[in-house]
Amino acid sequence: MSFRCRPAWILKLKLRGFLVLGTAIEWWSTWTDHAMRKGGPMYVAVATVLILFVAFVFFSSVLPEVSSGHNIGHRLAHGCLGAVLLANILFNYYQCVRTPPGTTQDCLEATEMDEEAGLDAGSPRRFCHRCQRAKPPLTHHCHICDKCVLRMDHHCPWMHNCIGFYNYRFFFLFVFYLWAGSMYAAFMTWLRLNAITDLAASQGVVPQHPRRLVFTFVVATAVAVALTILLACHLYFVLTAQGTIDVVGNLSDWWEARQRGERWANLYDLGPKRNFQETFDARGRWWWVTWLLPSVARKQGSGATPLTSRSAALQAMPGSHLEHVGLATHVAGSM
């Protein structure tokens, strides 16, 4: 069998092409990181303006017209509902923006891990070469913030912040209340637009819809549709004790275990109810209500030692004083 060698200039041209492509990708990644880092305040300003504009149109134009002809109780109920939704949206948004997600630099447990590892890159623990620190379980390095974020979910440009252990609760509640507010605003605006159309039809004229009502309806509807998908994804992440970054690796581990005929289990999955309670620090008889309430209380725990199914079972034993145990690996049990 004979092999036909390609000319050397073709190989050099391909190699140069790969080098140029790699350089271009690296330059683009660096530029977008820099733009996202410097443009963060602009994203926050744009988000604030859009939220306040929709709220202004709703309270000044939509609510008075839709509530006309109804009693004071009806108008007061809609006004209070709109005010509560707006207050929770703004509260959770700015709490998420201003609350640090938690990093290995200000975590005592992570410092102890550094001392145990001796800053040895060959240590069996996860190690970040950028931060030169040990990486606790579920911790990831954010290339925009250039820090290792505890239980990092993602970097959100609209928050100008990473979403991690200490501010994920605010992020989820912001998405939830913004979704509810958008659905409510879209529905109420649709009622107003529909009333204008019916009035014009009864008079035999072409309906003239105010532009700001149309704009509000379009924005609220688009945001509601997008947030329905986002909220569903994050609700799934919360109930299964995963993050946006971790779910990719977990799916790969699940597939590899399935190929080997094994059953894969997420070590940090405590069950849907316990996962939900741990995420929102919701305790007591009324936990299913209190998680919705605004709170400035610091999240319990440190984020460096996530609770595992094993440590949770030991904690539940009578007389057990076991602290949270952080393990860096998942388990796969035979079927």
Range of the domain at 65: 29-334
Which pTM was predicted?
Answer: 0.81
* The pLDDT of residue 335: 32
Note whether residue 103 is domain-resident.
yes
d(CA 94, CA 251): 33
Per-residue three-class SS string for 27-38: HHHHHHHHHHHH
Task: List the Cα angle 97/142/110 in 5-degree steps.
Answer: 95
Number of structural domains in the chain: 1
Average pLDDT over residues 123-143: 80
Note whether residue 231 is domain-resident.
yes
Note whether residue 8 is domain-resident.
no
* The pLDDT of residue 146: 87
Instruction: Answer whether 127's CB lies under 8 Å from 135's CB.
Output: yes
Residue 61 is classified by DSSP as I
Average pLDDT over residues 214-230: 91
Average pLDDT over residues 55-64: 85
* The pLDDT of residue 123: 38
Q: Which residues contact 185 (CB under 8 A, 6 or more apart)?
A: 54, 58, 62, 216, 220
- Say whether pLDDT at 86 is over 90: yes
- Phi, psi at 140, each rounded to 5°: -135, 150
Average pLDDT over residues 107-136: 64
Note whether residue 142 is domain-resident.
yes
Note whether residue 188 is domain-resident.
yes
Average pLDDT, the chain: 80
Average pLDDT over residues 147-174: 93
Residue 324 is classified by DSSP as P
Query: From residue 206, how far is each of 65, 150, 306 by CA, in Å?
Result: 20, 58, 62
Average pLDDT over residues 307-329: 52
Note whether residue 45 is domain-resident.
yes
* The pLDDT of residue 211: 79
The pLDDT tens digits for 193-217 are 887 787 777 777 666 777 788 888 8
* The pLDDT of residue 330: 37
Note whether residue 11 is domain-resident.
no
